[in-house]
């Protein structure tokens, strides 16, 4: 089994978090990289499980001291991946999954780490909008911004090696697991 670095990107509302959680439950050889963010926790989110919630000064200090493997500003907040965590896991023979945006995804693709890149597509923009609204966690202005951002992100899907359409959740989960199994088998 080869240790691989997986990047999963998607416009928000594509159902990526649900998909990734289902995959992590079934792929025991895969470890999730918990990102750092300056975003405030949503209801139910736990520090150290969903994200490491940090303030802007602390975040920028991590960037300045070279601790971030990649980082990006997404929807006015900063998000970044710890380089040490990823390198330690890969060195120990452990595959790692990064749930990151397209800007971060492109940085990892250019890093020489030879990632396996997967883009999750919503079935349509209409369904994406319904999902964003149905989540009920974000204000109208935030939803508008995320929809605009989604269009730009979808434009970048051609940089990704695999595209999975998240229409029927179980089928998308199976497709993702199949990609991971095939990539880690060689
Ligand atoms: P949310 O605020 O909805 O949890 O995430 C917003 C976006 O930030 C998602 O597209 C998510 O994949 C992305 N994101 C989460 N962590 C990271 C990270 O460490 N780096 C980058 N570049 N994007 C991230």
Domain ranges of the chain: 5-185
Reference 1, options 25, 26, 28, 34; nearest CA is: 28
Task: Give CA–CA dist 46/53, Å, rounded.
Answer: 9
Cβ atoms within 10 Å, residue 170: 8
Q: How much is the pLDDT for 38?
A: 98
Q: Phi/psi of residue 109, each to 5°?
A: -60, -30
d(CA 1, ligand 1 centre) in Å? 28
Q: pLDDT band for 175, please (50, 70, 90 cuts).
A: very high
Q: Using one digit for the tens of pLDDT, what is the confidence trace for 98-132?
A: 999 999 999 999 999 999 999 999 999 899 888 88
Q: How much is the pLDDT for 137?
A: 74
Q: pLDDT band for 75, please (50, 70, 90 cuts).
A: confident
Task: Give CA–CA dist 71/182, Å, rounded.
Answer: 28
Is the pLDDT assigned to residue 139 strictly greater than 80? yes
Q: Is 13's C-beta closer than 6 angstroms to any atom of ligand 1? A: no
- Indicate the burial class of 19 (C-beta count within 10 angstroms; 0-12, 13-18, 19 or more): buried
Q: How much is the pLDDT for 49?
A: 95
* Tokens (6 digits) for 12: 């928000």
Q: Phi/psi of residue 32, each to 5°?
A: -90, 135
Q: How much is the pLDDT for 132?
A: 84
Q: How much is the pLDDT for 59?
A: 98
Report the nearest-CA residue for atom 10 of ligand 1: 101
Is the pLDDT assigned to residue 135 strictly greater than 80? no
Report the nearest-CA residue for atom 23 of ligand 1: 100
Contacts of 144 (CB under 8 A, 6+ apart): none
Q: Is 12's C-beta closer than 6 angstroms to any atom of ligand 1? A: yes
d(CA 98, ligand 1 centre) in Å? 9
Tell me the helices (H) and strands (E) count for the chain, helix number first.
7, 9
Q: How much is the pLDDT for 87?
A: 96
- Testing ligand 1's pocket by substitution, the residue of 37, 51, 118, 153 carrying the most ligand atoms inside 8 A of its CB is 37
d(CA 10, ligand 1 centre) in Å? 9
Q: Is 103's C-beta closer than 6 angstroms to any atom of ligand 1? A: yes
Helix axes 140-154, 125-135, angle to 10 degrees: 150
Q: What CATH code is assigned to 5-185? A: 3.40.50.300
- % of the chain surpassing 70 pLDDT: 99
d(CA 147, ligand 1 centre) in Å? 15
* Mean pLDDT to the nearest integer, 86-96: 96
Q: Using one digit for the tens of pLDDT, what is the confidence trace for 11-62?
A: 888 888 899 999 999 998 899 999 999 999 999 999 999 999 999 999 999 9
Q: How much is the pLDDT for 12?
A: 80
* Stated length of the chain: 186
Report the nearest-CA residue for atom 17 of ligand 1: 100
């Amino acid at each position: 089994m080869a240790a691989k670095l997986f990047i999963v990107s998607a416009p928000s509302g594509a159902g990526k978090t649900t998909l990734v959680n289902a995959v992590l439950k079934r792929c025991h050889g895969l470890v999730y990289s918990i990102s750092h963010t300056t975003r405030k926790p949503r209801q139910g989110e736990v520090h150290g499980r969903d994200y490491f919630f940090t303030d802007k000064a602390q975040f920028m200090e991590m960037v300045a001291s070279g601790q971030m493997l990649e980082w990006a500003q997404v929807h006015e907040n900063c998000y970044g991946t710890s380089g040490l965590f990823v390198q330690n896991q890969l060195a120990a023979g452990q595959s790692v999954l990064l749930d990151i945006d397209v800007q971060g995804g492109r940085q990892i693709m250019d890093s020489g780490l030879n990632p396996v890149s997967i883009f999750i597509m919503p079935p349509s923009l209409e369904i994406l909008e319904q999902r964003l609204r149905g989540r009920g966690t974000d204000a109208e202005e935030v939803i508008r911004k995320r929809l605009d951002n989604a269009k730009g992100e979808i434009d970048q899907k051609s940089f990704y090696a695999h595209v999975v359409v998240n229409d029927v959740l179980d089928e998308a989960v199976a497709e993702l697991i199949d990609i991971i199994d095939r990539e880690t088998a060689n």
